[in-house]
Structure 1
Amino acid sequence: MTLTLGLAALTVLDTAPMQHVDLAEKHGFDTIGIRLMPAAPGTTAYPLHEDKQGLNELVRRLDDSPVEVFDLEIIRLAADFDPADYVPLLEAGAQLGAKAVLVGGDDRDRARLTDSYARLAELCANYGIVASLEFMPWTAVPDARAAIEIVSAADGPARSVLVDALHTDRSATTLEDLASIPREWLHYAQMCDGSTPAPTDDAELIRHAREERLVPGTGGIALADIWSTLPAGLPVSIELPNEPLRRAVGTDAWLKRLVEATRAVLA
């Protein structure tokens, strides 16, 4: 079965979307992810939903490319979440042909967070985009069981859970939990490896996730076990920020290594 590979936004976050497409083409990626909104205040993002000219230029570039946009980042569900705030992002995503938007849960009020996710999923469905709720151990959606509970409360075709290898390994998630996610909720998964032992405090968990992921097969995550619970042929997004390792060999050699290592792990 052909493996669909994506080049996640975070892997080359210093690279603008037009050049991101160039890298994906050069190294055999099928899709890319674009970070339109920052993961944290002051961090890098490319707000094409606020730049009509830039958005149109990227659409034209994609029209001439085999590479497609798969996912957009990032919508955070906080206490003050209002789905109307994200209409411009989703409109841009629809213009780009995006299939998913990555969603993070930051609201510790579970009932309100669940309602926010349901309203976002309803909105996303209008644009043909799924709302992929990612569980991360330091957030209000700390593991797969929490994600399943929240997504279960939503209706319609836009329900989605995002499995990230690093967060799976560093949360209370079990292989049985992954296997229990409804197959129709799985639209892609994020690939990387990680060091062992894993950090135990939130600050280090976040730093590792954003700066210190490892090449598949070089860390301590049981990647083959994780992927054995997921549907065959599920698209894979390589999310692997590690600037010291990338700089040491150069971006081209780095991406070549990530592609080869991912294919080897999933063979």
Structure 2
Amino acid sequence: MGNHRLLSLAAGVVQEFPPERAVYAAHAAGFNAVGIWCDSTTWSAASTRAVRTALHDTGLVALDLEVLWMHPGERVDQHDAMLDYALELDARNVLCVSSEPQALHTMRRFEHLCRRAEQGDLRVALEFLSLTEIRTLQQALAVVEGVGHPAGAVLVDALHLTRCGGVADDVRAMNPQWLTYLQLCDASREPLDSSFEGLLEDALHLRRLPGDGDLPLRDLLDTVDAELPLSLEVRSRALNARFAEDIDGRAAAVYRATQRFLQTTP
């Protein structure tokens, strides 16, 4: 592991807690970065102040703010407020997914997001997953490369890469300028249920700590720069049950497992 690599507690790991509490828990666990969960229907100026204060108190980097989800029929500027929140927090990335079925609309809207993000040092990271219209790495790259804006990026999640049939060599073949961070977790090699509902359950509740599953994580890490930031996206019903009210314990468990895994990675 590079000395300067950012390790971030992903927002979804502690989604039920206020985002400022996630910042303090990530810091107490040993992370040097954190993801911020933003519910745009309830986020307020007070939310921004609380998170900014927590980031200032801890010195943590806001690696990403999520989730900006594009749906069909929305205005091009539908999600401008979320980008503004990210800019106010000096976040590195906004995590974006798309359920927009029209490819041209997706590209037009993604370009708008990138142009707004260029007001600061912010990237719009388009994540691919089989539950959305951008299902594969190749589809995500088609959008990001098609738009060609330097604020654009592709987000690779170790779980979704495997579930869509991708391999580490697909990531190796990418232009590294489009890869701004990586989501890491472990899981079973195959989903228990390949239906939409089964894949949703797999993504939201059945992830495992790094090293506790069968995903080819070492192959994936070997393809990227040793200092590429990692977001620990360990959304796990079992972990949540073990640390139901203990956000600090949950964050610490993820950090300890991550350190063990990285220290045994050649």
Q: With structure 2 as the length reference, what TM-score do the two structures score?
A: 0.90
Per-residue CA distance 1:67-120 (angstroms, 9 max, x = gap) = 121211111222223342222222221111111000102122222222222222
Task: Kindly state the Cα deviation for residue 18 of structure 1 after the two structures are TM-superposed.
Answer: 1.8
1:145 equivalent among 138, 142, 147: 138
Aligned counterparts of 1:97 and 1:252: Cα–Cα separation in 2:
24
- Residue 164 of structure 1 is matched in structure 2 by 157
Task: Kindly state the Cα deviation for residue 46 of structure 1 after the two structures are TM-superposed.
Answer: 7.7
Classify 1:253/1:74 alpha carbon distance in 2 versus 1 (closer, same or farther; 3 Å): closer
- Residue 226 of structure 1 is matched in structure 2 by 220
Secondary structure of the corresponding residue to residue 190 of structure 1: strand
Cα-Cα RMSD = 1.9
1:60 matches 2:56:
no
1:265 matches 2:261:
yes
Structure 1 residue ranges, 4+ long, deviating more than 4 angstroms after superposition: none
Per-residue CA distance 1:30-62 (angstroms, 9 max, x = gap) = 11111213xxxxxxx7843xx112322322332
- Residue 242 of structure 2 is matched in structure 1 by 248
- Residue 97 of structure 2 is matched in structure 1 by 104
Verify the 8 A CA contact 2:155 2:181 in the aligned structure 1: yes
- Residue 19 of structure 2 is matched in structure 1 by 17
Alignment of 1:86-235 (within 5 A): 86-198=79-191, 199-235=193-229
Verify the 8 A CA contact 1:16 1:46 in the aligned structure 2: no
Q: With structure 1 as the length reference, what TM-score do the two structures score?
A: 0.89
Secondary structure of the corresponding residue to residue 233 of structure 1: coil
Give the gaps of 5 or more residues in structure 1: 38-44
Task: Kindly state the Cα deviation for residue 251 of structure 1 after the two structures are TM-superposed.
Answer: 4.2
Per-residue CA distance 1:177-231 (angstroms, 9 max, x = gap) = 2112211111111111112332321211111111111111111101001111122
Verify the 8 A CA contact 2:172 2:223 in the aligned structure 1: yes
Higher relative contact order (CA 8 A, sep 6+): 2
Aligned counterparts of 2:220 and 2:149: Cα–Cα separation in 1:
27
